[in-house]
């Protein structure tokens, strides 16, 4: 696998950036050398990993005042880098990160209102592509209610955006919250995390192994 830098980004808060960043990084770390960059001044990711002390979780490089510097440091040390971006309104930090990564995954909650609230993220990707034309981007549906189909309004809203949606989606599952509470990833939850881990593996297959 060539070197790869992956950002989890959205202007919309609470859509699952940190949850997917840590679980994807943990999934990739089973077979790769992975660094995890916490570019969010809230430091959620750093707290998660600090308090778990779990050796199976990738190393977190805290972005502090200079997340771009943390990203380049991580890229020098690790074959794969996952960056958890902040939900910043001006997209300043996120925009600069998008100029430096190969791929961005944008978690979206399955409601058109949430999708429109995050529409600025799509513009940020387009702006970043002026300097980083190779930037690949996917929307990832997160917290989809089990057993419910996407509403027609949601499917139409997704189809109207310039960025494609990954075929796989992530359901709302207790395992994702439980992993956060225990300071681990869903891969360390054994049988309790099996379905959630399978969803993370699908994202890795569909978006990251190409």
Ligand X SMILES: Nc1ncnc2c1ncn2[C@@H]1O[C@H](COP(=O)(O)OP(=O)(O)OP(=O)(O)O)[C@@H](O)[C@H]1O
Binding residues for ligand X, rule: CB under 6 A, are 13-19, 40, 44, 87, 142-143, 170, 172-173, 176-177, 180
Which of 4, 11, 15, 18 is in the footprint of Mg ion by CB under 5 A?
Answer: 18
Closer CB to ligand X, 18 or 121, in the complex: 18
CB of 175 to ligand X, least distance (A): 8
17 binds Mg ion (CB under 5 A): yes
Closer CB to ligand X, 29 or 84, in the complex: 84
Q: Which does 96 bind (CB under 5 to 8 A by kind): Mg ion, ligand X, none?
A: none
Q: Please, which residues have CB within 8 angstroms of residue 162's CB and are 6 or more apart in sequence?
A: 122, 125, 126
Q: Which does 167 bind (CB under 5 to 8 A by kind): Mg ion, ligand X, none?
A: none
Distance CA 33, CA 31 (A): 7
Q: Which of 188, 182, 195, 192 is nearest to 27 (CA)?
A: 188
19 binds Mg ion (CB under 5 A): no
Closer CB to ligand X, 133 or 146, in the complex: 146
Q: Give residues 42-61 in contact with Mg ion (rule: CB under 5 A).
A: 44
Closer CB to ligand X, 4 or 44, in the complex: 44
Distance CA 92, CA 95 (A): 5
Closer CB to Mg ion, 107 or 157, in the complex: 107
12 binds Mg ion (CB under 5 A): no
152: which 2 tokens? 């027609």
Closer CB to Mg ion, 12 or 17, in the complex: 17
Angstrom distances, CA of residue 206 to CA of 113, 135, 162, 195: 26, 16, 18, 17
Q: Which does 30 bind (CB under 5 to 8 A by kind): ligand X, Mg ion, none?
A: none
Q: Are 49 and 119 in contact (CB under 8 A)?
A: no
CB of 84 to ligand X, least distance (A): 7
Distance CA 58, CA 49 (A): 8
CB of 34 to ligand X, least distance (A): 18
Distance CA 127, CA 18 (A): 23
């Amino acid at each position: 696998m060539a070197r790869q830098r992956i950002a989890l980004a959205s202007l919309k808060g609470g859509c699952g950036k940190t949850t997917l960043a840590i679980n994807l990084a943990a999934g990739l770390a089973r077979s790769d050398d992975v660094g995890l960059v916490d570019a969010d001044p809230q430091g959620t990711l750093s707290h998660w990993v600090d308090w778990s002390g779990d050796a199976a979780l990738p190393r977190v490089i805290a972005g502090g005042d200079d997340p771009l510097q943390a990203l380049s440091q991580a890229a020098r040390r690790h074959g794969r880098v996952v960056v958890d971006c902040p939900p910043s309104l001006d997209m300043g930090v996120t925009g600069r990160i998008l100029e430096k990564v190969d791929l961005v995954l944008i978690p979206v909650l399955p409601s058109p209102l949430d999708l429109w609230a995050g529409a600025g993220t799509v513009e940020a990707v387009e702006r970043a592509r002026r300097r980083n034309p190779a930037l690949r981007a996917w929307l990832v549906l997160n917290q989809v209610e089990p057993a419910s189909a996407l509403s027609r309004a949601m499917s139409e809203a997704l189809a109207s955006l310039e960025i494609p949606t990954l075929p796989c989606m992530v359901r709302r599952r207790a395992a994702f919250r439980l992993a956060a509470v225990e300071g681990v990833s869903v891969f360390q939850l054994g049988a309790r995390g099996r379905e959630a881990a399978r969803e993370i593996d699908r994202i890795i297959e569909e978006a990251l192994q190409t």
